[in-house]
A and B are shown apart, each in its own frame.
Chain A
């Protein structure tokens, strides 16, 4: 367990928003119970905020003011935020219908969230090997908490991912980008018993409108078996649950191709990601 002084040393990095996700999680846990650190963080955040004065002030176009005030007025009249014109699409963070949730559901979601955080933390200490997935999940969770945590389905999916990562029969495969997508990477984890699987990608280009990525399971000596289709957000991230058929749980190569959106029975497009041959 870290000591107070070690947490205190992380405060400046927290104020600069520069901590890695897991340290941030640990520090937030400490902050919840340490008023001395809370006060120091406030001061450090104020100091960090002053860095904004190091930039050259610049005038936005005159029409920006009118756009802001018009939209604010429209939202005040309709009672809810208008659609944001240019918010980036984040494939794994659906937000629809959140404001209609009854309070009880919100409370349950908050409790599930806390349970999930604890699970994450325990898991992190137990298995540093899978640190990268946890970091990714933690980031997703932090984003969720920033938005007052709306979506039950999303929580269920995160919890499923954690259970999977904790499973004793878990197998993890790293997929590397091919010549078509050199910077892309993905992690595919699945439970050899149940076949439950989770795919996390990064650095994939966004698919054209009528196309989507398709997962393929290629067991040794068999033809490719189709998995699910998915798209990625503007950062090339996707997180998706899938199911590995029983015959593809050993000696399997996982590949991802770009296919027409309706899906293909066998791969037709370029391979973007592939696991090493087993």
Chain B
């Protein structure tokens, strides 16, 4: 890599990583550690677990960079998907432990606050937050339950006490609107 890390595209960095270039791994870590760690922390609410998962996620990037196919989506989506999946897997594993702990009278992690509120307090991602703010509250809430708590449609319906069909419609409308609102602006994100 001759160019400055900041000038190299995500796709080129991933290609370099797939060839075993450690500097490219360091560069992509430096570029996305804040947002990915923020995402993982939002899912897990525990710094130590989140650091552990961040490490797992970047090692997966190291091992699997050759699987990234730019014709099938953005590099950012690929990175975020890895980080989120790892975090949600960990959340599920921790969930059963948390249930056990509750039975003996204490919980190891605090309850998540109002997801929408938390998102709106964030200082970055203005465009995304604007787009989200334009969604009806129940659509936003459904999207967040799926994305940040890793719940399936059926689990969301049970959690909210809403019919499954309603939940499906909300998620679909929410994501469609998000796609529409972001379609002209996403390049800068």
Q: Known: A17-B146, A183-B99, A234-B96. Is A86-B37 also a contact (CB below 8 A)?
A: no
Within 8 A of A (CB), among B58-77: 58-59, 62-63, 72-74, 76-77
Q: Answer yes or no: B16 CB below 8 A from chain A CBs.
A: no
Please give the distance in Å from A231's CB to the nearest CB on chain B.
14
Contact of A52 among B54, B84, B96, B154 (CB under 8 A): B84
**Residue A57 at the B interface, CB < 8 A?**
yes
Binary per-residue interface labels of chain A (81-117) against chain B in the complex, 1 for a CB within 8 Å, 0 otherwise:
1001111100000000000000000000000000000
The answer to whether B171 and A234 have CB atoms under 8 Å apart is: no
State which of A15, A58, A67 has its C-beta within 8 Å of the C-beta of B175.
A15
Min CB–CB distance A24 → chain B (angstroms): 9
A42, B73: Cβ atoms closer than 8 Å: yes
Interchain CB contact under 8 A, A55 and B42? yes
Residues of B within 8 A of A245 (CB): none
Q: Which residues of A contact B85 (CB under 8 A)?
A: 17
In the complex, A72 has a CB within 8 A of chain B: yes
Given A13-B153, A183-B99, decide whether A88 and B93 contact each other with a Cβ distance below 8 A. Answer: yes
Task: Check A54 against B175 for contact (C-beta < 8 Å).
Answer: no
Given known A-B contacts A47-B178, A55-B39, A58-B37, A16 and B147 have beta carbons under 8 A apart? yes
Please name all residues of chain A whose beta carbon is closer than 8 Å to the beta carbon of B12 when the two chains form the complex. Answer: none
Contact A52 B152 (CB under 8 A): no
Which residues of B have CB within 8 Å of A81? 59, 63
Q: A54-B122, A59-B33, A61-B51 are in contact. Are A49 and B153 (CB under 8 A)?
A: no
Interchain CB contact under 8 A, B122 and A55: yes
Q: In the complex, are the beta carbons of A46 and B150 less than 8 A apart?
A: no
C-alpha gap A130/B52 in the complex (Å):
38
A260 CB within 8 Å of chain B: no
Considering the chains assembled together, what is the distance between the CA atoms of A47 and B103 in angstroms? 39
B26 to chain A, nearest CB (A): 6
B1 contacts the other chain (Cβ, under 8 Å)?
Answer: no
Shortest CB distance B18–A (Å): 12
- Minimum CB–CB distance from A27 to chain B (whole Å) comes to 13
Interface residues of B in 1-35 (CB under 8 A from A): 20, 22, 25-26, 29-30, 33-35
12 contacts between A and B (CB under 8 A): A12-B175, A13-B146, A17-B88, A18-B146, A18-B152, A19-B153, A45-B81, A49-B77, A51-B147, A56-B123, A84-B56, A235-B92
Which residues of A pack against B, CB within 8 Å?
9, 12-13, 15-20, 42-61, 64-65, 67-69, 71-73, 75-76, 81, 84-88, 182-183, 203, 205, 233-236
